[in-house]
Structure 1
Amino acid sequence: MEIPEKGPLQSLPAQNRQVEEIPQPTVEPNGAQRKSAERDTVSLTERGREFNAAVQHAHLLPEIREDLVMQLKHQVEAGTYRVKGHRIAVNMINETLENNNVLKHIDTKA
């Protein structure tokens, strides 16, 4: 079987192969048409702006707190670092309770 270098679609004129997208007007809920040149806008509430500012501030903070790392390193080297087991236990219990509370609000039937 011999495959020709030019197939039937390659011989079509270039202008016939181009597809031009024609912008369609969108229909508003009230039935009016909106021009495609108009842009949608988004406005944030005051709480949304505060949240956005907090996220931006969090991105500026270092991921590793060098001062705390150095403090703990010196304590370990000096033999003065003490694990507070009761605090670890309390934090583990609190985290478990928070997780259980979140799981109660998740719809598992979906």
Structure 2
Amino acid sequence: MSETVVHLMCGLNGAGKTAYARRLAEQLPAVRFGLDEWMLRLYPYRYDTAKYAEQAEVCKELIWETAVARAEARTAAGGPGAHPLDGTAVRHLASIFEPPTADEEIPTTVIDG
């Protein structure tokens, strides 16, 4: 069974997160969700406006629902790496997620461009 990996990225605007995520998606079998790209297509607001923040929350929920649907479809297909998972389970896991600490020795990539 193949290992499932989730790549979460954070950083300042223009730091290269999207470019790095695109490269990963090309190199790996991956599904990529990027808030900026969704926002640019759905809403005409700049990131530094109050309306952007409000609409970003709506967009994050849409992305989340899409990711959950993808996970549920993969589970239903029963392919490699699939295990019972539904929207409730995914939301529960997300609610208890904590960033890894140094003592956990989880591989971390810092992109310094």
Structure with the greater alpha carbon radius of gyration: 1
TM-score range, shorter chain: under 0.3
TM-score (norm 1): 0.23
Tell which has more relative contact order, 1 or 2 (C-alpha 8 A, sep 6+): 2
